[in-house]
Structure 1
Amino acid sequence: MPVSVLRPVVDHAVVNVADRLDTARSLFSRLGFQLTERGHHSLGSSNHLAIFGENYLELLGYEQGKEKQRADLWQAPPGLTGLVWKTDSADIAFQHLERHDLDGEPPASFYRPVTLPDGSLSEAHFRTVRLRASRIPNGRSFFCQHLTPEAVWQPEWQVHPNGVQNISEFVIVAQDPALSAQVYSQLFGVEKVLACQDGAFALHAGAVTVRFACVDYVRHRFGSLPADYDGSARMAALGFKASDLTKVKAALLKGDIAFSDRDGAIVVNAGENVNLALRFA
């Protein structure tokens, strides 16, 4: 039987907003993202999504009285805490994790009700399998199998006032970037993680480049780090591919969001956001 090889493609990025779902929804709307209506998972968490061409952004939190459901999620620091990979089979992904000594818990199934743009009711169903928690500090990394992708990737939801088309960069800051990248070398193969001249390491994953970088690199490219950064490896920043930077600027000005021009891109400081620096290019 041939050994399966998992292809790295980022499915979505998760931002932990805990009990600040209303604040996060308002903020990301002001940033120029079109967000879906609030969804409620069968496991107890709630979310808003910004859907793009190949991937999406998830603002994940909980409503009042539900903080004890999925309590392990809210122990992570606020901000970027989830790096999620596409898979056609959670079972195959789990077998791969077992072979490479990266497995956590077996695949889990859950769903959330969805109101589609035409007003009809549907459900989004998922199966997920997580990498061993001890290998991913300050967050989670897992594979997501979409059983009903049509309940997520609706064309009407993929159009954003700021012109964003995809997440293009997912940044993990670390004192030792090579060490932080090691788990993904083990997961996808050492040839997939490339050393860059600037000292960072890059994993090309579909529309997204996952980058492992030192503090100086992240501060130069994104202007800031999470306010509570303590030196441990941390998911810290996101980059977006936009169709037109004038749309980004117009959306930020309309939303009264401070920004700066940096190396031909537009950067929003982590202090203006939910502990997360953003870069539009």
Structure 2
Amino acid sequence: MSARGFDHVVWAVRDLGAAPRFMERLGFRVTPRARHPWGTENHLVQLDGFFIEILGIGDETLIPEAAGDTFSFGAFNRDFLKTREGASMLVMESRDPAADRRDFERAGLHVYAPFSFGREATLPDGGIRKVGFDLTFVRNDSDPAHGFFTCLNRYPDTFWSAEYQTHPNGVTALESVVIVCDEPAEQHIFYAAFTGRREMRATSLGITLETPRGRLHLMPPAAFASLYGIDAPEIGPGGSAIAALGLRARDRTHLAQTLREASFDAVEAPEGLVLPAGDHFGLALVFD
């Protein structure tokens, strides 16, 4: 089993006009809106090998329902947004979808039918290029509220853009994904299979797993509040929430100045400068 780094996170929002404007105020470069044939629409924030997919519902009448072993990306995010906004899905990179499937099945995980799609992407100069992806959806029985899949990017040279990856705020890469959960140890089996990393570091603050691109932190609410200086998201018994993304900046002083000039009140915390999730579409952003 080979290790997988984080590929992207799906950030589901109800207002697909306001969320990209929020990210632009933070100093990010945001791609033009793209549309999926199954009714969802998105904007992307590209970093170094990782991207944030800001996703909304465009045309609900186009959304197919899940049936049998077929996972419905559109229906899952539509239903997620009925109760909250925030990070709805975690995605790991793929080099071989068939190998991903074998790994997940050997680990005893439920794997859905293979899914592939392509679309057109708008480049910074206005040009149009084809992009395509092969997705392997898998279920986390310990966290059914979120979606999980691996993604093989079939045309990386046309997908990634140095211009879109250059942000005025100086943010360059993903540092970490933070998940708040009642019992981090109960997530061990799933995340070992999902990331291909069996070695995890356990402390009184939770579990940390190093991937080839970004760290995964699993922690209880009290640990999150201590490390990030803000209230943890509310979770029910046995529940989980993708609470925060940690992002690396070239110059923290410049980043802090960008936030002040945009009238954002960031919280100074042990893990970095934190923008709480409350008024920011359900996902905290942490800058280091």
Match of 2:26 among 27, 31, 43: 31
Deviation at 1:94, TM superposition (A): 1.3
Deviation at 1:125, TM superposition (A): 0.4
Superposed CA deviations along residues 39-92 of structure 1, whole A, max 9, x for unmatched, are: 112332111111011211111112255574522222223101211101112122
Q: Aligned ranges for residues 1-281 of structure 1 at < 5 Å?
A: 5-17=1-13, 19-66=14-61, 68=63, 70-76=74-80, 77-132=84-139, 134-188=141-195, 191-196=198-203, 198-225=204-231, 228-231=234-237, 232-263=239-270, 265-281=272-288
Which ranges in structure 1 are unaligned for 5 or more consecutive residues?
Answer: none
Deviation at 1:227, TM superposition (A): 5.3
Contact 1:108 1:129 in 2 (8 A): yes
CA RMSD of aligned residues (A): 2.0
Change over 3 Å in CA distance of 1:40–1:188 after alignment to 2: closer
Superposed CA deviations along residues 145-173 of structure 1, whole A, max 9, x for unmatched, are: 00011232110011111111111110111
Change over 3 Å in CA distance of 1:193–1:8 after alignment to 2: farther
TM-score, with structure 1 as normaliser = 0.90
TM-score, with structure 2 as normaliser = 0.88
State the one-letter code of the partner of 1:13: V
Tell me, in whole angstroms, the C-alpha distance in 2 between the residues paired with 1:245 and 1:67: 43
State the one-letter code of the partner of 1:230: G
Tell me, in whole angstroms, the C-alpha distance in 2 between the residues paired with 1:189 and 1:114: 30
* Identity level (%): 27
Which 4+ runs in 1 deviate beyond 6 A?
none
Deviation at 1:187, TM superposition (A): 4.0
Contact 1:258 1:272 in 2 (8 A): no
Contact 2:249 2:255 in 1 (8 A): yes
Q: Larger deviation: 115-124 or 179-188?
A: 179-188
